[in-house]
Chains A and B, each alone.
Chain A
Amino acid sequence: MTELEKHSYDVVVIGAGGAGLRAAIEARLAGKKTAIISKSLFGKAHTVMAEGGAAAAMGNVNSKDNWMVHFRDTMRGGKFLNNFRMAELHAKEAPDRVWELETYGALFDRTPDGRISQRNFGGHEYPRLAHVGDRTGLELIRTLQQKIVSLQQEDGGDDRLRVFAECTVTDLLLDGSRIAGAVGYYRETGEFVLFETPAIVLATGGVGKSYKVTSNSWEYTGDGHALALRAGATLINMEFLQFHPTGMVWPPSVKGILVTESVRGDGGVLKNSDGKRFMFDYVPDVFRKQYAETEEEADRWYTDPDNNRRPPELLPRDEVARAINAEVKAGRGTPAGGVYLDIASRRPAEYILKRLPSMYHQFKELADVDITEAPMEIGPTCHYVMGGVEVDPDTAAAGGTVEGLFAAGEVSGGMHGSNRLGGNSLSDLLVFGKRAGEYAALYVDRLGSRPAAPAAAVDAAVEAALAPLVRENGENPFDVWSDLQQVMQDLVGIIRRKSELEESLKLLVDLKERIGKVSAPGGRRFNPGWHLAIDLRNMVLVSECTARAALEREESRGGHTREDFPQMDAKWRQVNLVCSVGQAGEVELVRKPVPTIRPELLALFELSELKKYMTDEELAMLGDASAESTGRPGQPAKDGE
């Protein structure tokens, strides 16, 4: 076996964002010797970027809020494709997870009576997001980071809980079907390291870096998704990606950076290059009743929401993103390929400065645009992946053939269905991070014999990772990456169609081959070209899952829009698309039924609402079931109330 640094742990957590840190704390509290591995420095994970807040039905601002309302909002947001049990656990446990952070030292913004303040957000019926100004993610990361330090202080060192920063895991090791360890390399030195462990928690975040325009950081190369697949786990619903409608598009330096939804909430409107306020042309039939038809009515809504309907700029994220996309495609975009978001001509400068200080600052510093005088250029940006590792809702254990693998946070799938509500990610990290740590520890307790990492697999992992370094005259990995991003952006982007998806799959095959041949000269020491070469292997595999699933799902729902199948289809609500990797590394896709929602949870919804999502057969069965369990009339209502 290759000579390399070796460590032995009970539980290894890959990822130091909210999910990973919370998992590690729990595993350590359960008495397990725990390691945290992270591609970047401790405290820098992507979670740091979250702004708005963490959703938890504490009821501090509106006492009518409770877990049932939160559950309902989450299921609606996900268009009922969510794993209902995850949504249930999430809604029930989020308040405890947020309160716990205060005992670690977090300082959330307060209500007048001294409790944690909560703010309104899209899709949440009541003010629900615990927050610290617009830097909630930073507070979350720092709090968990400091809790880990405090545990290390209790232990008098880091023997029981250690952070391996700037260390990238490239392969998981199996003993039969059981997790036996992980191989990684230190970015600083390029030296390899072996972690022997029976239990691994994946908390590696998302996939956005496969797209040209994204709000995500370089870490989001889908490593955890790919590691899981190669270890025999399964991914679900990879077709669902959230494109946030308003990302910056100009200047190039900031393309993709998020522009908060509040700009529109506070009066900003979308205009095309003809100066037309185009959203009125894009109100879908299902929403027609709730949205204004004229600019006059829309403008009156801001001051008199009871007697006027909402401006169409405030349609759900997916609708607005699609409309912007269509305008640009029709040639009515800005020079940089976006549309205008104009608040300057609609609100006085003082108002803008007071309501949107951070946006003012962001545009001033990064774009040299004064948003009190000029419109912003914006366009959709790839923001969040709803799909991910298929997990058991209670234990976070990965599905498929592997044992000892757990997943939490953005890398896991199911919780958010086809579309995530703002604020539900940070709470998801805490709830399922804790569960993953807890059940990984329990798995280790129940383990008979400790699995052993086969030497040959370690050698193979090291050899595969080193290949781009020793290969000569191959392509520059940055060029291949750029091409991959273009394929995903153009062909598997926000609006999808059969021919383009088929085309993307062909191109991905070529890209896979090219990725196998890249060279990264410059030695092992902190060599970004080499790091990228390794990440590319994961990006292309996960991209293929997204393209395959997007081609398969012949409907439009949440974060998946098919131009050739523009409607939501109740039959497809019953289907999860599940990807695995076969012997030869090929992606296999199967359909699996979505778990049936328990009757007492379904009873939280009006029948008229369920009718929008469910098939006639389901509704008929539901009628029978609910007649028994909840005493609701045995027949579904005849038409929508």
Chain B
Amino acid sequence: MGSVRKFRVWRGDAAGGRLEDFSVEVNEGEVVLDIIHRLQATQAPDLAVRWNCKAGKCGSCSMEINGKPGLGCMTRMSVFADGETVTVTPLRTFPVIRDLVTDVSFNYVKAREMPAFAPPADLKPGEYRMKQVDVERSQEFRKCIECFLCQNTCHVIRDHDDNKPAFAGPRFFIRAAELDMHPLDARGDRKETAVDEQGLGYCNITKCCTEVCPEHIKITDNAIIPLKERVVDRRYDPLVWLGSKIFRRTA
């Protein structure tokens, strides 16, 4: 059943690296992460890769496979042609630690800057009442496994490191939308925060984030656009205009 296939894996660290060629056995039904594990077990025990669940649930194994951002554990080898060399590289938007492992701390910093859920003052634990239809919109965003593939793909920061301080990224726009749509969140300024502090204005709705999301969250249609629209409702148009202007300047 097994065949020998060509793999090219980026090896190196912050100081630099290169693509290393491997010939490796591939069996029916395997995924890219299996092949990386086989390389570890048989040829390169120090090949660095993150993973946890191997079931698409934890969002640890994000990498770029033939240049396309994806989860190693959910990318089946059968999607590649027999003779095709599979090239695996680390996420481009984040600094490399070693091999396929990148420093994703950017995302945790942004998470800490995001104002937390504000519980309603008048309700005690056990007294929360919400309709299923009202929680469903936020639940879509809570499916996020924090794989950061959307963050990695978004061109606002992918090729523009200097935008990072001002831009929280799609993962945190859906967090803003989630709290905005939470039936009991006590804060009323989620959209304003998204614009003023998260840099929502940089986004020009290219939908690239939505395309890579392994949880199929409609990041742009269901989170970003409603956030922007509501801001238009509440604010003067010039700010939206300013937001798109900032984007044009930096793109």
Contacts and interface: CB of A to CB of B under 8 A. Distances in A.
Q: For the side of the interface on A, what is the size category?
A: 35 or more
Contacts of A250: 29
B142 A132 contact: yes
Contact of A251 (B30, B33, B51, B57): B30
A525 interface: yes
Contacts of B128: 99, 102-103
B129 A113 contact: yes
B52 A219 contact: yes
A8 interface: no
A528 B45 contact: yes
Contacts of A112: 132
Contacts, number: 177
B24 to A, nearest CB: 14
A247 to B, nearest CB: 11
A95 interface: yes
B126 interface: yes
B142 A142 contact: yes
Contacts of B138: 107
A43 B145 CA distance: 9
Contacts of B126: 58, 95-96, 99
A138 B50 contact: no
Q: For the side of the interface on B, what is the size category?
A: 35 or more
A366 B112 contact: no
Given A44-B52, A252-B30, A529-B45, A49 B57 contact: yes
B30 A104 contact: no
A105 B182 contact: yes
A135 B143 CA distance: 8
A369 B112 CA distance: 42
B132 A138 contact: no
Contacts of B51: 218
Interface in A18-70: 40-46, 48-49, 58
B211 interface: no
A366 B117 CA distance: 36
Interface in B93-136: 97-99, 101, 103-104, 108, 111-112, 114-117, 119, 125-126, 128-132, 135
Interface string B181-221: 01001000000000000000000000000000000000000
A356 interface: no
Given A527-B48, A528-B47, A96 B55 contact: no
Contact of B97 (A217, A366, A525): A525
B19 to A, nearest CB: 18
Interface in A67-116: 95-96, 99-100, 102-105, 107-110, 112-115
Interface in B19-46: 27-31, 33-34, 40-42, 44-46
Given A188-B98, A251-B29, 7 more contacts: A41-B60, A99-B125, A113-B129, A135-B57, A150-B116, A368-B29, A526-B48
11 contacts: A99-B126, A107-B182, A109-B135, A217-B52, A219-B52, A250-B29, A251-B29, A254-B54, A366-B76, A528-B46, A528-B48
Interface of B: 13, 27-31, 33-34, 40-42, 44-60, 73-74, 76, 78, 97-99, 101, 103-104, 108, 111-112, 114-117, 119, 125-126, 128-132, 135, 138-139, 142-146, 179, 182, 185
Q: Which 9 A-B pairs have the closest CB atoms?
A: A251-B29, A522-B46, A529-B45, A105-B117, A150-B116, A114-B129, A99-B125, A526-B48, A478-B41
Interface of A: 40-46, 48-49, 58, 95-96, 99-100, 102-105, 107-110, 112-115, 117, 132-133, 135, 138-139, 142, 146-147, 149-150, 152-153, 165, 188, 217-219, 250-254, 257, 362, 365-368, 476-479, 482, 520-523, 525-530
